A = this chain, B = another copy of it.
Amino acid sequence: MRTTTGTALLTDRYELTMLQAALASGAAHRRVVFEVFARRLPGGRRYGVVAGTGRFLDALEAFRFEERDIEFLCSSGIVDEPTGEFLAGYRFSGDVYGYSEGEAFFPGSPIMVVEGTFAEAVLLETVALSILNHDCAIAAAASRMAQAAGDRPLIEMGSRRTHEHAAVAAARAAYLCGFASTSNLMAGRLYGVPTAGTAAHAFTLLHDSEEDAFRAQLDSLGLGTTLLVDTYDVAKAVRTAVELAGPDLGAVRIDSGDLAVVAVEVRRLLDELGANRTRIVVTSDLDEFAIAALAAAPVDAYGVGTALSTGSGHPTASLVYKLVAREDHAGRLQPVAKASVGKPSIGGRKWAYRRTVDGTATAEIVTREPVETDDRPLLAELVRDGEIVGREPLTAARDRHRATLSELPLEACSLSPGDPAVPTIFK
């Protein structure tokens, strides 16, 4: 459990106006089911990745309307007094099921299912979607990058290109999907993500010479550090670095130019100077395609910034939170669905299973009833009667992601746009 400041106002106004009207009409107390799903995967990606579930549970725990919130809502006429009173006592007492973090998903996968009264479940729409849309978008990009990088480690360093708190969540999602480390210190403290980073060009420019800067860095951080070699002249910097550090220099970083060409030159030079264990880290606007293009280059690690923290062209995951069932007058849950053009929903509470044949996934099976099957059930219990029961360490989610990817068909690794790696079958 993690201290979080109140999250209840991270909510769209229409949820509260719906609540007010439904409290007045009495419908607010009907039991309902909301479902989180994506109608499509952005950009022709082959699979989505569930991320953010753990953060959603933290947000749910902190979802309380504080006095100043109620005061704001009532005094500005957003809700009436009875609604304000309801909000003051608000605690989610329903159930939440969800795909576990790290799991793959496909169009129509019911990645989260929220059951409760309308009043309590409708209020969670915004915070659930904000968290899942962001984190799943980052995770999808991170997973593709990790596949492209193969065994070479990836360092997440996109904090400076995204909102300061989104950066922390992005670092978490990247680690979940196989990144080795992050530059973001808050992600280190909050989520235990390993952190990395040594120096920027400013450090070299601060000193009277590149040599002074390298010496200062080696003296303080040790020979294992990574020296940034492209502030002035790369070849000269590499020579200076090895002269000062000797063959045990940890790594050099290249942050500009044609990375494939420069890496070859730097490797040759390092080897010539006897520093054949010194690693080469490359950074500079890398995305999954640039990483893949460097597969044959003598590169030992990649630092990824902008493309990671902006979802590599797709900063949001297209997830929606839709009412799929509600209680009728007889107390039975009835499937419901809107008919809006181009935005259909499939009504009814869902269950989901991953079918595998000889260890390879062949279909996402979505049903209206739980079924006895050899297929792997995908919905785990996250919240029971308002109590959070689905917390797990981030490393468990990281392991799950690796396992789930190894199960997907080979097409899933394709970086080019296409159909989802497995079809979703509604039964």
> Taking beta carbons and an 8 Å cutoff, which residues of A are in contact with B?
5, 7, 9-18, 20-25, 27, 30, 32, 34, 59, 68-69, 72-73, 76, 78, 80, 118, 122, 125-127, 129-131, 133-134, 157, 159-169, 183-186, 188-189, 195-208, 212, 215-217, 219-221, 225, 230-233, 255-258, 284, 306, 309-311, 315-316, 321-323, 326, 328-329, 336-343
Given contacts A17-B221, A130-B164, A163-B165, 12 further A-B contacts (CB under 8 A): A12-B160, A13-B184, A14-B183, A21-B203, A32-B206, A76-B195, A118-B202, A125-B202, A134-B162, A162-B316, A230-B341, A255-B343
Chain B nearest CB from A232 CB (Å) reads 5
7 smallest beta-carbon distances between A and B, as pairs: A14-B197, A13-B197, A25-B216, A163-B166, A256-B340, A21-B220, A130-B164
Contact assessment for A340 and B5 in the assembled complex, using a CB-CB cutoff below 8 Å: no
The interface residues of chain B lying within 8 Å CB-to-CB of A310 are 315-316
> For residue A321, which residues in chain B have a CB less than 8 angstroms away from its CB?
160
Q: Are B206 and A326 in contact (CB under 8 A)?
A: yes
When the two chains form their complex, are residues A202 and B337 in contact, meaning their CB atoms are under 8 A apart? no
Chain B residues whose C-beta falls within 8 Å of the C-beta of A322 in the assembled complex: 201-202
Selected A-B contacts with CB under 8 Å, 20 pairs = A10-B159, A10-B185, A12-B184, A13-B197, A22-B216, A23-B220, A24-B220, A25-B215, A80-B220, A118-B202, A130-B159, A130-B161, A162-B315, A163-B163, A163-B166, A165-B166, A233-B339, A255-B340, A256-B341, A257-B342
Q: How far is the CB of A255 from chain B (nearest CB, A)?
A: 6
Nearest residue, chain B, Cβ from A132: B160
B198 touches A17 (CB 8 A): yes
Q: Is A14 a contact partner of B198 (Cβ separation < 8 A)?
A: yes
Q: Which residue of B lies closest to A25 (CB)?
A: B216
Q: Which residue of B lies closest to A68 (CB)?
A: B189
Q: How far is the CA of A122 from the CA of B233 in the complex (A)?
A: 24
Q: Are A167 and B130 in contact (CB under 8 A)?
A: yes
A345 to nearest B CB, angstroms?
8
* Residues B21 and A338 in contact, CB atoms below 8 Å apart: no
Alpha-carbon separation in the docked complex, A393 to B337 (Å): 44
Contact present for A5 and B7 (CB under 8 Å) = no
B-side contacts of A206, CB under 8 Å: 22, 27, 30, 32, 118, 323, 326, 336
**How close is A325's CB to chain B, nearest CB, in angstroms?**
9
A212 to B328, CA, bound (A): 14
Q: CB-CB < 8 A to A72: which residues of B?
A: 185, 188-189
A266 to chain B, nearest CB (A): 13
Known: A231-B340, A337-B205. A10 touches B216 (CB 8 A): no
| B20 & A221 in contact (Cβ 8 Å cutoff) | yes
